[in-house]
Structure 1
Amino acid sequence: IGRGNFGDVYKAYDLRLQKNVAIKAINIEHSDDEIPVLLQEINLLRSLRNPNITNWYKTFIIDVTMFIVMEYCSEGSCSDLLKFNRNSLEESVLSYIMKNVLEGLKYLHSLNIIHRDIKAANILIAKGNVIKLADFGVSGQLNGNTGRKTFVGTPYWMAPEIVTDCKSLKKDQYDEKVDIWSLGITLIELGTGKVPNNDKEPLKALFEIPKMEPPRVPKNSSYYMKEFGVACLCKDPVMRPSAAELLKFKFI
Structure 2
Amino acid sequence: MASEAAADIVPTAPMQLSDEDAQLSVEAFLHKTCDGLVRDVLASAESASNRLRASFRAEKASILSAYDAAAAASKPSAASSSRAGAGAAPPGSLSATGPGASASADAAPGGAAGPAGGAATEAKAAAPAKTTRWNVRAKVMSGPHAGIDTVLRPRQRRLVPKFGRSTGQQFVKNGISLPEDDEVSTTHAKLEARGGAVWVTDLDSTNGSILDGASMPPGEPLPLPHQCILRVGQSDIHLTMEPAE
Q: TM-score range by the shorter chain?
A: under 0.3
Give the TM-score normalised by structure 1. 0.22
- Higher relative contact order by CA 8 Å / sep ≥ 6: 1 or 2? 1
Give the TM-score normalised by structure 2. 0.23
State which structure, 1 or 2, has the greater radius of gyration over its C-alpha atoms. 2
